Amino acid sequence: MLESETELDSESRVEAAPATEEELRLQRSIARNVPQLVQLLLGIPKDCTDTSDNYKQLLACAEQTLSVPEYFDEQSANAVKERLSHFMLRLRLKDLEDVADDLKSLTKIVLQDPWLAEHPMEELPCRLIEFYVSISSLQQELGPEEGSIPKENLEDTWLRYVPFNEEEEDEPNFETDYDSDSNTVIYNANCNLQQEVEVSPRSVLAEDIPTPEELFKQRVETIYEQTLMPCNRGEDDPRRAFASDYGEYLHEQLQLCEEPMNEEQLLLRELLIMFFAPRNCGNFVLIDQRLQLREDATQIAQTLSHNPILESLWQMQQLRQFIDCFHRMETFISFAQGLEQLLLPVMEFLVDYERRVRRGTELGTLQHFLHAAVAPMARLQLLADMLPLGIDLDRDPPAACCLQLLQQLFKLSAKPQTSEDNFPNLRAAMASTLLLHSLEEYCRILDAWWHTGTLQNHSGEFPFRQHHLDCMTSYVRVQKDRRGSAPALRFISRHVRQAAPFVATLRDTRCNEQFVAKHYDILKDDLYDTFKTLFLHDLCCHQVRCAHQPRPQYAPEMLKQLQMEDPDHVLRLLIAYHNYMQQPSVHTVLGSILACSPHVPLAKIMRKSLMRLLHTRLLAVRCYTKQLLNVKFQLQDKLQHLVGVCMATALPLPLQQQKCETFFKLLEENQTTAATWQLRVIIEGTFSPFSSMIFVHLPCSNLAEIALRVPSDWMLRRVVQLPQMELLNIPFRLTLRTHQAQWMLRSLPQLPQAKAKRLVKALTAIKMRLAKALQGIIHHPVKSGEAQQIHSNFLEALQKPPSSLQGLRHSSLKFFHQMSQLLSESTADGDPEEILAWAQYLKKLWLRVQDLLDDGNDFVVCSEAPPYYKLAYKTLEKRYLQTIRRRCDAWISVMRQQWQLCHKKYNNIQLVETP
């Protein structure tokens, strides 16, 4: 029958139209690849293909299936997918996962091949799938050959080594579906089984069939790999809900158990379940979230009313609530992780004992469990004592909560290490281990602070916060709370206060990366890892025995408790919990502590180890910032030059008298731009490399509004900001205005004394007194002595290289305020502002009198004017000059009275300072 169909098909191909280029290409591909594929599927040697009738028949059928362009509709494609789905399902039901995986890889290649998808022949991928799935069906029509697989269905060849249960004869009704987006075949069963099937052919021999133990091992390895992958399907992480999920599983097993149990066995099963997931059951009830015995409990359950096992249940419930709670502070998260790792031996014991009771391999009596659970429950009680029960996480500040927790662990670690068997106290050892684990977040915050200058304290658990004010960074302690007092952790606060100015300097100067690169040996390792390593190293000198395994072997490890009859979700729970607990840090630290002598001061050693690391960083940053400010940025020299210019000590105004006169003349002519450049020439005449950083701002010809600025030096602006620069401008303006007033008095013209001798004499006397007063503003003996002392103190402070911007800014502010206050006070001759105002007023009167006394300015009247006009003008001029003279006399009298008062005050100051 097969030969007749082949002949008919060949005749139809002869009568067909000439082949296209695509068809010729397909035929060449078939001729090149199909023979080898058929030979591999049949599993016969290559040299036997010429003599094998089966090979020839199958090759002809394969070429006919692939090359005949018959109509292949969607219904035919769905039939192929359904056949493939049925074939794959049988493989997976018989645990032949290795065969199914190989079939999956080839099917994926076929369905995703771009050339097959774009081929003009319709449904070519489905034709290929139909071809290699049909090989097993075609072999039933052919006889067996030597060197080939026996005459039977290839699917049955794979499956015949696994015995079929009689209950599996009625196979479920499967429905198939096709996902066009991912090109995958999906099959659904009435037993809620759904998988993705992607198939590949493979020849399997009998000796390749794995044993049930190997299949279970492969199953565990598959689930192990799945638990290591990130959970991207929105499911809950099984490791976080192990206790509750495993308790639900145990409760379901108890409900489904059909074997008869007595009251004691039922009580024991319920008691074990309560350790995982407390709930209302036959003998126990939850009252106010606390597990208690029912009033109508069985008689044997009433015997537990005064047994410590109920307290152990409550302690386990407290531990699970604290561990499973969502903590918003990383310190409490680290503490909870440490608790859970130390709780692992107890959980392993409970899981193992419950499994042995359920399988019947353990004597299921209550008394036997109470005796076997003595050591695990003692460990459970020690861990429950570590809980911070007096802390209100919802109301107390986060920093206070963390400090209370760490202080409690420090107290427990500092208790005497005494025991009967000359071993360290297990309570203190566990507290030290948890303390070291809980300090991880503080170390992370400090490490990030040292690297970036930023306090990454998002949850507020660190007792310091970062401020940025006036372009300066500062780190201040949060508001103190008596509930958050932790004397054992004062060394951390002290370290932050000492290092804060230097770290703030690094951040403000943007030199954190350079500091880290230069001190890479100190900062390359994580602070917490280095702290832990140093602590363990310091413990070595106190160890009197080898560090033993800290985990007591109450039961085998989780992976050794896995059984073949466990469903996948239980295996996934146990494997995920095992992986989550495999963090060796806690167990390593606990083992090193237990190997020490019983009187070792654990808390003191831990505190000294961390203090040593922090002090090393403090010394490094102090030396680096000192060199940074004085060598790289040269802030000391820049500040000294700026102060010298503003105090006029660095401005040689008397030596540059000609340039100063030019500057004052330009101001008189209201040429502010030219005057600005002239003043810059005077400043640059100091021949300092820092003169170019000073900018002169002169908006008008009034020197009372002149200002010096340093816009180009951003580092100096952090020390001398606008308010401080305004303080520096006060003595600078006063000095310039005083020199301007002196120049103005010297440049006044001579007055003719023939017409008004008394007036000219009075004006000259005022001029001399004002010149003396102006000279006193600059060279007053008391003022110059105090100014020199203040200036020398400031220069002496600058000679000690500052280590931080805050220290440099503080000393500069102190100097600025002292000098501004000193120069703005009244001198022995009066207030400087009043003297400068009198000098301006004297200039106006002087020039007015000059105009009146000048002969060239006599009143000239026309010839027609009556004579009394000339007489009236002369009379008014005389009266005006008399008025000015009277004013001058009054002015002299006022100046004499004020200066006598100031000289009296000055003499009193001299009398006080002379002794």
Instruction: Pick 204 or 778 by higher pLDDT.
Output: 778
Minimum mean pLDDT range among 168-172, 615-619, 722-726: 168-172
Q: What percent of the chain has pLDDT over 70?
A: 72
Q: Which two tokens stand for residue 58?
A: 């199958």
Q: Average pLDDT of the chain?
A: 75
* Confidence (pLDDT) at 494: 92
* Confidence (pLDDT) at 139: 43
Instruction: Pick 598 or 92 by higher pLDDT.
Output: 598
Q: Which two tokens stand for residue 564?
A: 């073949």
Partners of residue 696 on adjacent β-strands: 708
- Give the mean model confidence (pLDDT) for residues 33-50: 73
d(CA 456, CA 453) in angstroms, rounded, equals 9
| pLDDT at residue 855 tops 60 | no
Q: Which two tokens stand for residue 120?
A: 């003009």
- Tens of pLDDT along 571-595? 888 888 888 787 667 888 888 888 8
* Confidence (pLDDT) at 185: 38
| pLDDT at residue 417 tops 70 | no
* Confidence (pLDDT) at 448: 93
- Which of 485, 482, 478, 483 has its CA nearest to residue 461? 478
Beta strand 472-477 pairing with 464-469:
antiparallel
- Give the mean model confidence (pLDDT) for residues 393-400: 83
Are 575 and 559 contacting, i.e. CB atoms less than 8 angstroms apart? Answer: yes
Minimum mean pLDDT range among 197-211, 670-684, 829-843: 197-211
Instruction: Pick 55 or 739 by higher pLDDT.
Output: 739
- Tens of pLDDT along 306-333? 888 999 999 999 998 888 887 778 899 8
Q: Which two tokens stand for residue 652?
A: 């040689």
* Residue 50 identity: D
| pLDDT at residue 275 tops 60 | yes
- Give the mean model confidence (pLDDT) for residues 78-91: 70
- Give the mean model confidence (pLDDT) for residues 645-669: 77
Q: How many CB atoms lie within 10 A of CB 368?
A: 14
* Confidence (pLDDT) at 146: 40
Instruction: Pick 225 or 438 by higher pLDDT.
Output: 438
Partners of residue 477 on adjacent β-strands: 464
* Confidence (pLDDT) at 187: 34
| pLDDT at residue 471 tops 60 | yes
Q: Which two tokens stand for residue 127?
A: 């034709």
| pLDDT at residue 628 tops 50 | yes
Grade residue 900 by pLDDT with cuts at 50, 70 and 90: low
Q: How many CB atoms lie within 10 A of CB 806?
A: 19
Q: What percent of the chain has pLDDT over 90?
A: 15
Grade residue 374 by pLDDT with cuts at 50, 70 and 90: very high
| pLDDT at residue 189 tops 60 | no
- Give the mean model confidence (pLDDT) for residues 274-278: 90
Grade residue 89 by pLDDT with cuts at 50, 70 and 90: low
- Tens of pLDDT along 835-850? 888 888 888 888 888 8
* Confidence (pLDDT) at 820: 67
Instruction: Pick 203 or 272 by higher pLDDT.
Output: 272
* Confidence (pLDDT) at 335: 92
* Confidence (pLDDT) at 530: 93
- Give the mean model confidence (pLDDT) for residues 827-841: 75
Q: How far is CA 720 from CA 472, 515, 811, 813, in A?
A: 11, 25, 11, 8
Q: What burial class does residue 7 get, using C-beta atoms within 10 Å of its C-beta: 0-12 exposed, 13-18 middle, 19+ buried? A: exposed
- Highest average pLDDT, of 3-12, 157-166, 900-909, comes from 900-909
- Tens of pLDDT along 494-531? 999 999 989 988 998 889 999 999 999 999 899 999 99
| pLDDT at residue 172 tops 60 | no
Grade residue 156 by pLDDT with cuts at 50, 70 and 90: very low
- Tens of pLDDT along 687-702? 677 777 888 889 988 8
* Confidence (pLDDT) at 157: 37
Q: Which two tokens stand for residue 806?
A: 């805050």
Minimum mean pLDDT range among 160-174, 496-510, 633-647: 160-174
Enclosing H/E stretch for 612: helix 602-627
Q: What burial class does residue 913 get, using C-beta atoms within 10 Å of its C-beta: 0-12 exposed, 13-18 middle, 19+ buried? A: exposed
Are 171 and 152 contacting, i.e. CB atoms less than 8 angstroms apart? Answer: no
Q: What burial class does residue 639 get, using C-beta atoms within 10 Å of its C-beta: 0-12 exposed, 13-18 middle, 19+ buried? A: buried
* Confidence (pLDDT) at 180: 35
Q: How many CB atoms lie within 10 A of CB 161?
A: 13
pTM (predicted TM-score)? 0.64
| pLDDT at residue 451 tops 90 | yes
Q: What burial class does residue 49 get, using C-beta atoms within 10 Å of its C-beta: 0-12 exposed, 13-18 middle, 19+ buried? A: middle
Q: What burial class does residue 481 get, using C-beta atoms within 10 Å of its C-beta: 0-12 exposed, 13-18 middle, 19+ buried? A: middle
DSSP label at 634?
A: -
- Give the mean model confidence (pLDDT) for residues 882-892: 83
Instruction: Pick 824 or 739 by higher pLDDT.
Output: 739
- Which of 654, 652, 696 has its CA nearest to residue 678? 696
* Confidence (pLDDT) at 350: 93
d(CA 409, CA 293) in angstroms, rounded, equals 33
| pLDDT at residue 294 tops 70 | yes
Grade residue 228 by pLDDT with cuts at 50, 70 and 90: low
* Confidence (pLDDT) at 595: 86
